[in-house]
Structure formats: structure tokens, C-alpha cells
Amino acid sequence: MKIKRYGIMGGTFDPIHFGHLVAAEEARAVLGLEYVFFVPSGRPPHKKERPITKAEHRYLMTVLATATNPSFKVSRVDITRPGYSYTVDTISAFREMLGPDCELYFITGADAILQILSWKDVDRLFASCYLIAATRPGYDLSQLRASFGASWQRYSDKIKTLEVPALAISSSEIRRRVAAGEPIRYLLPESVVQYIYKHGLYGAHRQVKGCI
């Protein structure tokens, strides 16, 4: 029997954008994933320096963005678990839910993976899932290897890289554009654009330059 594979895409999703969606879809197609679960984080441990938009808004934007893809699901596990959101705890929750007989693939940007050695319980994390590092086409893999140093041998079997084309988009750039009254259309799904303006997120009270 073929072992089922599931993708898990964790993130702040403040807001979700086409970079996230393209990476998830590419991972689904290349790895033959049954589903990709998008998991908006509750309190991200690495983003303490700026206020994060309410979890309910981030969750709803993620639902809107993924609604048309039958292979995408959104999970509330990190939002409902108290305390900081650590990847190792997210993976344990999915392992419990999906059982021992499947493979889990945690999808993340190569930039985030560079700091992985500082994540909580790295050994336990690598024991329970694979890591998919989304990279820009032409990305220099030696950077990834160098960041692991001597630990590369230990973990390299569990790390796969995946080239995705939409990597220049980031949530921080979208927030900056909204606050500056610059357009954000075509960087993220239209439903999410409308949600941002409807709820006045990221200082979206000003009129977008060039729009009627």
C-alpha cells in the first residue's frame, strides 16, 4: 500500500499571499501530497517585536485564500494551543491526528530553515517529519548546507529543496504597501485584498493611489 503523504505549511499569514500558495501547490504536485494543511500560528516565538494581527483575521484570510483548492485545508491547532507556536508541537498534533503510518512534510521558506538549529527540539522535529525548503530558482544550496555546519550529515536526508517561482512576495511588503496606500492587487488573492480593506487591516483606511 502506498504511504500517504501530507504537507503542513505553518506561518503567521499576516496576510497570506501567492508566495505561500504557490509553494504549497508546488509541494503538493511534486511530492504527491494528499492535502496541504495551512496552520496559522498563534503566538510566533520569532516575531515578538511587532504586534501580530488577531488570529481570527489571519485564520479567515487563510480560509478565503485556500477555498478554491480541494487539496488545501486550514487548521486551528496552533491558534487554539496556548503559549508560543513551536513547529515541533504542531507536527506532534498532526502526527496524533493522522496516525503513525503516513509521512509529514513541513513546508517552509529556505530563509526560515536557515535558523532551524535554533528551533525547539530539532532532533524530535526531524524524527517525525521531512522539511521542504522552498527556494528561488537558481538558489545557492551551499548556503543551506553552510548554515547547518557539522549537523548537515545528521539531518540532510530529511531536508528536500523545492524551487518555487513566486518567492519575491512577502507579507511585510504587503503590509508596508497597504499602510503607504500603494496597490497590493495581484500579490495575493482578491478575496483577501477585499478582506483587508473591509476590516481596515494594516492601516488600510487611506485610498489606494491611482484607484477610483
Rule CB under 6 A: which residues touch ligand ATP? 11-14, 19-20, 23, 108-109, 111-112, 134, 164, 166-167, 169-172
- State how far the Cα of 74 lies from the Cα of 197, in Å rounded to an integer: 22
CB of 1 to ligand ATP, least distance (A): 31
CB of 39 to ligand ATP, least distance (A): 10
- Residue 81 C-alpha cell reads as 494551543
| Closer to ligand ATP by Cβ: residue 111 or 182 | 111
106 and 91 Cβ atoms separated by less than 8 Å: yes
171 and 177 Cβ atoms separated by less than 8 Å: no
E strand or H helix at 176, and its extent? helix 171-179
CB of 184 to ligand ATP, least distance (A): 13
137 C-beta neighbours (distance < 10 Å), count: 8
CB of 195 to ligand ATP, least distance (A): 16
| Closer to ligand ATP by Cβ: residue 23 or 129 | 23
Give the position of cell 487554539.
Answer: 80
| Closer to ligand ATP by Cβ: residue 13 or 128 | 13
